[in-house]
């Protein structure tokens, strides 16, 4: 293997930004050979490794593949001889080439190169594992890990462990995390801080809090990443008080929090609506001089908004030097959730009209806030959506759900077809909205077709929510017997959602027979709920079956189930006033009952016969 390589055609492809990075090594040299007018670049194995690594990180695929092409033309350059030093030099370049394809090439290119490598080490195998896991190919990534262990030549290291653990971010990977934890102990990596940190993070992401806490308690040494992983893990699982307790414990020790630690603590304050704690953390950030970091400012705005202090959130927003999509989404949500819907609407439209790029997550947030508010018409949202340069499944799902909620099922289905044409794969959320749309416009055949395509075309396993939508769809179409048969053939046990859907459609159709069947099943699932009793009482009332209604109400009282008190409310001047039956707690109660009495007199004059009802018995 050569110790140096001479390149000519490569020089024009090297970006100017790389020259300052390569120059400190002093090894790369440009020579002007007498026989040629072209300058030639001389690189050693370290220079090549650095150039390939930077090509991968910066996305310069053409440069990296050009280097690879030069090796293909001169294969002796990368095939080691018996000399140990040459072998080491070769593997360094091979691994850098492999890393470049892993970052900016295709998995096919990566696999082909790996198969062609004359020598491999642990780094080679780690690159294959991480390349496939990073692209969501979990089975293939774990397969390379198994092959690595079976090879008997290379052995995994702590980088292998942390790479695999970082990919285990869902509950279904819990058993993989447990297996990796076992390998950590059996191979002596239990004292490695990076491995312990990865275990804590993975356990919390998989929802196994006790195991994450145990790892933290048993660690021989803890750094700032350890503490931050633990605090953020507790926050992600909504254990806000525990996370703040740990944050205070960390501050009293030798390890200082970093920006990510403070971010997690601010999220905990937001979750608890702990204004005092949030202000204290804000003061600490001022003392440290990091309060102006973009992510910190966004978290502060979110905390103040969640605590009802929109004015403080707005002050931070106005004083911010740099704003991103997250910052604008946070302040938008803060305005809307604190009763400033009109201000939020104007803010959003001003952003749109001024040409600011609308992020998919921002559109989703806006549609979520204004889903029930006719003041932001769907047409304005559709205009924003149509002009978005980037659309992902979140933005598509948001628009489909919005039209489905507003009863425009045909438009929701049309958007679904456009989404597929745009190359965006639907998710389980997409199908939930589509089934809801089909239910409310009576498209039974289309709904059943969509349910089938979930598994047959996209490999998505329906959840109870999907089945409940189908039951509702069949019931609303008057196909109650078909809905019952559908439920009996489900691959999973029908839960409360599904039984409620069946009972709800029986209420719409006034079917007391199937309604009673559904109510009995619902009572078994939720014996303390008044829903089945009240629903059946209403069904009997709609059919004039007063004796059956009386027996149902009597049964409900006998077993001690109470009906929730109905509440009415009205919003005036951004303030909500709520009332219950015979409510006299409102400060203006006497005035309101006086008005009711006057209204009753007017009604009597018009010929209304109220029976035995008096003004004081009127329900507000």
Lowest mean pLDDT among 296-310, 313-327, 383-397, 427-441: 383-397
Q: Which of 19-33, 325-339, 533-547: highest mean pLDDT? A: 533-547
**Does residue 505 surpass a pLDDT of 80?**
yes
DSSP assignment of 390-452:
---HHHHHHHHHHHHHTT-HHHHHHHHHHHHHTTPPP-HHHHHHHHHHHHHHT-HHHHHHHHH
Cα 205–207–210 angle (5° rounding)? 115
pLDDT in the model for residue 387: 75
If pLDDT is split at 50, 70 and 90, which confidence band does 28 have?
A: very low
**Residue 426 binned pLDDT confidence (cut-offs 50, 70, 90):** very high
Give the Å distances, CA to CA, from 159 to 162, 166, 194, 211: 5, 10, 9, 21
Predicted pLDDT at 616: 41
pLDDT in tens, 65-81: 777 777 777 666 555 54
Give the mean model confidence (pLDDT) for residues 425-435: 92
Apex CA 601: angle with CA 596 and CA 606, to 5°? 120
What percentage of the chain carries pLDDT values higher than 90? 39
pLDDT at 585: 62
Rounded to whole angstroms, the Cα distance separating 480 from 352 reads: 46
Q: What would the mean pLDDT of 500-523 be, rounded to a whole number?
A: 91
Q: How confident is the model at residue 89 (pLDDT cuts 50, 70, 90)?
A: confident
> Once rounded to an integer, what is the mean pLDDT over residues 409-413?
90
- pLDDT at 31 > cutoff 50: no
pLDDT at 531: 87
Complete DSSP assignment for 261-323: HHHHHHHHHHHHT-HHHHHHHHHHHHHHT-TTSHHHHHHHHHHHHHTT-HHHHHHHHHH-S--
Q: How many CA atoms lie within 13 A of 175 on its CB side?
A: 1
The confidence score (pLDDT) of residue 409 equals 87
Closest by CA position to 562, among listed 520, 536, 539, 529: 529
**Full-model pTM:** 0.63
Which residues is 31 bridged to in the sheet? 40
Average pLDDT over residues 267-288: 94
CB atoms within 10 A of CB 210: 8
Contact indicator for 300, 316 with CB cutoff of 8 Å: yes
Average of per-residue pLDDT values in the chain: 82
Lowest mean pLDDT among 126-130, 283-287, 348-352: 348-352
pLDDT of residue 503: 92
Residue, of 7 and 380, whose pLDDT is higher: 380
Whether 615 has a pLDDT exceeding 50, the answer reads: no
Between the CA of residue 277 and those of 69, 91, 208, 241, 316, what are the distances in Å? 59, 53, 28, 11, 17
First-residue to last-residue Cα distance in the chain = 91
How far is it, in rounded angstroms, from Cα 570 to Cα 583?
Answer: 14
CA distance 392 to 369: 19
Tokens at residue 75, please? Answer: 């294969």
Q: How far apart are CA 165 and CA 206, in angstroms?
A: 11
Mean pLDDT in residue range 98-102 = 87
Query: pLDDT tens-digit profile of 130-185?
Result: 999 988 888 999 999 999 988 877 788 999 999 999 999 888 888 999 999 999 99
């Amino acid at each position: 293997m050569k110790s140096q390589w001479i390149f000519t055609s490569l020089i024009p492809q090297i970006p100017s930004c790389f020259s300052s990075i390569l120059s400190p090594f002093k090894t790369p040299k440009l020579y002007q050979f007498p026989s040629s007018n072209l300058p030639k670049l001389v690189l050693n194995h370290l220079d090549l490794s650095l150039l390939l690594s930077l090509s991968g990180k910066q996305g310069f695929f053409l440069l990296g593949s050009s280097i690879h092409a030069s090796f293909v033309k001169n294969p002796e350059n990368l095939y080691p001889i018996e000399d140990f030093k040459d072998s080491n030099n070769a593997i360094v370049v091979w691994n850098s080439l492999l890393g470049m394809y892993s970052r900016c090439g295709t998995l096919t290119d990566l696999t082909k190169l790996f198969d062609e490598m004359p020598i491999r080490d642990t780094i080679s195998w780690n690159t294959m594992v991480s390349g496939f896991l990073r692209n969501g190919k979990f089975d293939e990534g774990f397969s390379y890990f198994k092959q690595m262990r079976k090879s008997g030549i290379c052995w995994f290291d702590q980088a292998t462990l942390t790479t695999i653990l970082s990919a285990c971010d869902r509950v279904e990977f819990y058993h993989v995390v447990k297996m990796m934890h076992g390998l950590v102990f059996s191979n002596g990596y239990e004292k490695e801080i990076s491995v312990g940190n990865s275990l804590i993070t993975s356990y919390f992401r998989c929802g196994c809090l006790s195991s994450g806490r145990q790892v933290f308690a048993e660690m021989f040494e803890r750094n700032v990443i350890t503490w931050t992983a633990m605090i953020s893990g507790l926050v992600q699982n909504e254990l806000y008080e525990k996370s703040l307790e740990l944050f205070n414990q960390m501050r009293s020790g030798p390890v200082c929090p970093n920006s990510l630690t403070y971010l997690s603590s601010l999220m905990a304050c937001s979750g608890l609506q702990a204004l005092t704690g949030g202000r204290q953390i804000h003061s600490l950030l001022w003392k440290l001089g990091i309060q102006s970091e973009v992510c910190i400012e966004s978290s502060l705005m979110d905390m103040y908004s969640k605590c009802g202090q929109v004015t403080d959130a707005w002050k931070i927003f106005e004083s911010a030097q740099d704003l991103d999509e997250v910052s604008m989404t946070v302040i938008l949500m803060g305005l809307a959730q604190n009763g400033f819907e009109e201000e939020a609407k104007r803010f959003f439209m001003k952003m749109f009209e001024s040409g600011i790029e609308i992020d998919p997550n921002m559109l989703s947030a806006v549609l979520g806030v204004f889903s029930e508010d006719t003041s932001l018409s769907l047409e304005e949202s559709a205009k924003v959506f149509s002009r978005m340069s980037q659309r992902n499944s979140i933005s598509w799902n948001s628009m489909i759900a919005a039209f489905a909620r507003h009863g425009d099922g045909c438009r929701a289905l049309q958007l679904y077809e456009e989404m597929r044409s745009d190359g965006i794969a639907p998710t389980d959320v997409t199908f939930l909205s589509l089934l809801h749309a089909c239910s409310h416009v009576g498209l039974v055949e289309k709904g059943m077709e969509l349910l089938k395509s979930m598994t047959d075309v996209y490999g998505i396993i329906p959840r109870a929510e999907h089945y409940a939508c189908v039951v509702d769809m069949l019931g609303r179409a008057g196909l109650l017997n078909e809905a019952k048969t559908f439920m009996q053939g489900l691959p999973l046990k029908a839960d409360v959602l599904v039984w409620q859907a069946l009972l709800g459609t029986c209420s719409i159709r006034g079917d007391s027979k199937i309604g009673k069947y559904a109510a009995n099943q619902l009572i078994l699932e939720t014996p303390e709920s008044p829903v089945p009793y009240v629903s059946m009482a209403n069904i009997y009332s709609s059919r004039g079956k007063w004796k059956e209604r009386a027996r149902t109400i009597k049964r409900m009282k006998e077993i001690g189930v109470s009906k929730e008190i109905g509440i009415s409310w009205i919003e005036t001047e951004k303030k909500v006033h709520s009332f219950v039956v015979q409510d006299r707690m409102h400060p203006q109660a006497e005035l309101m009952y006086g008005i009711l009495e006057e209204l009753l007199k007017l009604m009597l004059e018009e010929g209304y016969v109220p029976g035995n009802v008096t003004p004081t018995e009127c329900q507000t």
